[in-house]
Structure 1
Amino acid sequence: MLTTSVFLRTAALGVLLTGSTALSSCTTLIKPGKQFTAYQPALAPDYSLPASWAALPSRRDSADVVPRHTALRDEQQTARADVFYVHPTTFFKREAWNADLTDERLNRFTDGSVIRKQAGVFNSAGRIFAPRYRQATLYSFFDEQSDNGRRALDLAYGDVKAAFQYYLAHYNQGRPIIIASHSQGTFHATRLLHEFFDTNPKLRQQLVVAYLIGFKVKTDEYQAVRPCADSTQTGCYVTWNAVEWGNEYPPFAGGVATNPLTWKLDTMTASSALNHGGVPIGFDRIDTAVVDAKVHNGLLWIHPPKPLGYPRFLLPGQPQLRHSFHIADYGLFYMNLRQNAEARVRAWYSVSK
């Protein structure tokens, strides 16, 4: 599993798809005012209720949306697989260590940003199930002086686990499963794979692929679930963290990195000609050949894109992150990711016949 120090440094990258740079360099401004034990956590979600899900295939929601001015279509109603998507951090307040799922403003923000721009990538490959959960607040990722942040993260994971258990019992019905996530969501999804797939051969047979994006995954993270070696392997995982070419980021050093232009683990440079299209934060076009990519020491190096709409991760007081394209981890490779999910579902069915 990930160490506390690496997690607390890197999960702060969970300010996703917002383009926000409003956070102060003084992290105490976003620190909850009380100890974790002094707060009464919000009520746990009841996953039998549709309101406890940000996305369900039985209704219209943000995961059904595709980029404007494109020919892409939502194909969930005919999809042959399921997607269980765990969203990244969208809760930055200091009023509590964990989000309250009755906060409609937060829910709208989550839906309009990451559910639409990340979960929706997969709406041509599978039915999308995206739980709301009591995510840990941003400061949890900086809290190295107490166990408050860790407790908040454990509470958040408890919700994700409960949602997945409900999904398996009531929705899955033996269908193949894609796990998809980003940042804090990937921290939780990494644990989910440990508990449900790595030690369970029967459930592992249902795993199409896990897209564990935007967080470090160690080379020895799992015993049975391995990194994908090519574009159609199933029962494996994919992971990357995009940064500007030539830069290092020590917390991610030595982790697994997949090149989403070739779906290989080698360090060969993949030309931007292999990039089938990025989608900017405006969600209004497809930019072909937007970036190249090369795996380097646990990172995915890219040359900065020329089109606008793929922001760096500019967090005041954290200059080491200025080379990070964490916010655009999905957007830079939107079409490659979408097409790969479709291809792996086809491969799963061809192997499972």
Structure 2
Amino acid sequence: MAKKFLYFVAISIVLILVAAIAFRVWGEEIARAALVPTAEFEAQAPLEPNAYQDPALWYSRPGIGVNDPARWQPAYANDRGLLPTPADQRPPQHAVFFIHPTSYLSRENWNAPIGDEEAERIARIYVRGMASPFNAASEIWAPRYRQATMGSFLTDEPEGQQAIDAAYADVLEAYRFFIESVDAETPIVLAGHSQGSLHLLRLLREEVKGSPVADRLVAAYVIGWPISVEHDVPELGFAACATPQQTGCILSWSSFAEPADPSALMETYAKSIGFDGQPRGDSRILCTNPLTGMFGGEAAADRNLGTLVPDDSMSNGELVPDAVPARCDDRGLLLIGDPPELGSYVLPGNNYHVYDIPLFWANTQADVARRVEAKVGGGASAN
């Protein structure tokens, strides 16, 4: 029996090595074959007018109560206490609009159908882990939307962009309903991750810039999507956050453990076209250090107030302080030192994309509170 087990282990190791080599040689081809839909793109019918009045189209919004995933509060490890922050220490009233990342991986459609069981299950996990740092807000809103499937980002065919545009149309409708629903004097925080950040960037350029909401913007947390300091930021209408108290500004980071191999990201980024119409090339990526709230720089792990370490299900976890440092390198990537043990969803190259926000859960919460206080108190503004 033991001998058979050893043979099994040996064969498994060989298969894993062969798969790893194949991915390195044919990685893009494998990913495209596995994830890019082969079906024709079907235009998405516009949502009904005022569709987002329906609470069923929101993962999070006022009134959902205990089933709202964004209102989840993790415990600190080592008996260091529980969140939420006591009411008398909460920041002033503010509202958050959060756009979740890609949770639809199917090749059957270019856009996720509303109600797809697996995509919704994953999305709720993402909202629970990524939107929860923003939940000291008096209101937090996170819409369902017919997101572009993962394969849309792996093809140059027009269907990919059509799917992304269709997803943005839903996000835009949700955002407009959010703005209509929130008191006109309430400060606004906008946040997203990955595909959510891509849509948020478009919202900033096309909807927020130059609007009355711009004056109410506390900050935009555009995380997990590379933004060129040279070719993108000037077109957004909002500066990069340079200080921890600055408001009306943008924060962004993309996390890699060391040794980092960001070659796939950097190659795609270099070929892409910036918002100014010029190739992004080797221009620096916007990197906010989430441990300091400042553009660039580095900070030791003892500045980390709490990393959200998930359990195997990714549905629960605990906050571990002093776990991860942060350093913005010359390219604009956020390096986090030795690979932390956070789970099995680390991408090739020590890319901690899935964990961008959980790595700095408690610091993100503190950053929002600090900027809201500055906004309400008349502190520094980027505009």
TM range (shorter): 0.7 to 0.9
Contact kept? 1:186, 1:214, Cα under 8 Å? yes
Q: Does 1:335 align with 2:369?
A: no
Q: Which residue of 1 aligns with 2:223?
A: 213
Aligned partner of 2:213 among 203, 216, 238: 203
Choose between structure 1 and 2 for higher RCO, CA contacts under 8 A separated by at least 6 residues: 1
State the match for 1:264 in structure 2.
294
Is the CA contact 1:246–1:301 (under 8 Å) kept in the aligned structure 2? no
AA partner of residue 258 (structure 1)? T
2:310 to 257, 281, 299: 281
Instruction: Give, as a single letter, the amino acid of the residue that structure 2 aligns with 1:331.
Output: P
Do 2:105 and 2:119's aligned partners in 1 also have CA atoms closer than 8 Å?
Answer: no
Evaluate the alpha carbon distance shift between residue 311 and residue 351 of structure 1 in structure 2; reply closer, same or farther with a 3 A threshold: farther
Would the alpha carbon gap of residues 107 and 43 (structure 1) be closer, same or farther in structure 2, given more than 3 Å must change? farther
Contact 1:212-1:238 at 8 Å conserved across structures: yes
User: For the residues of structure 2 that align with 1:172 and 1:193, how far apart are their CA atoms?
Assistant: 20
TM superposition score normalised by structure 1: 0.83
Structure 1 residues not aligned, in runs of 5+: 1-22, 315-320
Larger CA deviation: 132-141 vs 161-170: 161-170
Q: What is the aligned partner in structure 1 of residue 149 from structure 2?
A: 137
Which amino acid in structure 2 is aligned with residue 48 of structure 1? Q
Offset of 1:260 from its aligned partner? 0.7
1:31 to 10, 16, 36: 36
Is residue 160 of structure 2 the alignment partner of residue 127 of structure 1? no
What is the aligned-residue identity percentage?
Answer: 31
Determine the structure 1 residue equivalent to 2:16.
none
User: Secondary structure of the residue that 2:288 maps to in structure 1?
Assistant: coil
- What are the Cα deviations for residues 63-110 of structure 1, in whole angstroms up to 9, with x where unaligned? 111114651028899960000000000000111100111224432331
Question: In structure 2, the residue corresponding to 1:54 is in which secondary structure?
Answer: strand
Q: Does 1:115 align with 2:127?
A: yes
Q: Choose from 84, 87, 100 the match for 2:100.
A: 87
- Identify if the C-alpha distance between structure 1 residues 26 and 346 changes in structure 2 by more than 3 Å, giving closer, same or farther: closer
The answer for the alignment partner of 1:14 in structure 2 is: none
Aligned pair partner of 2:328 in 290, 295, 309: 295
Q: CA RMSD in A?
A: 2.5
Question: Is the partner of 2:96 in helix, strand or coil?
Answer: strand
Partners in 1 of 2:342 and 2:327 — Cα distance? 21
> What amino acid is aligned across from residue 162 of structure 2 in structure 1?
R
- The whole-number CA distance in structure 1 between the counterparts of 2:243 and 2:373 is 14
Which one of the candidate residues 217, 235, 238 is aligned to 2:248? 235
Partners of 1:29 and 1:270 in 2: CA distance: 39
Q: Structure 1's 63 and 351: CA in aligned 2 closer, same or farther, altered over 3 A? A: same
Instruction: Look up the equivalent residue of 1:298 and give its one-letter code.
Output: G
- The aligned length equals 318
Pairing 1:160–2:171 present: yes
Unaligned runs of 5+ in 2: 1-27, 270-281
Secondary structure of residue in 1 paired with 2:222: strand
For 1:347 and 1:330, how far apart are their aligned partners in 2? 22
State which structure, 1 or 2, has the greater radius of gyration over its C-alpha atoms. Answer: 2
Q: Distance in 1 between matches of 2:208 and 2:46?
A: 28
Give TM-score scaled by structure 2 length. Answer: 0.77
Deviating runs (4+, > 4 A) in structure 1? Answer: 74-79
Which residue in the other structure is 1:51 paired with? 56
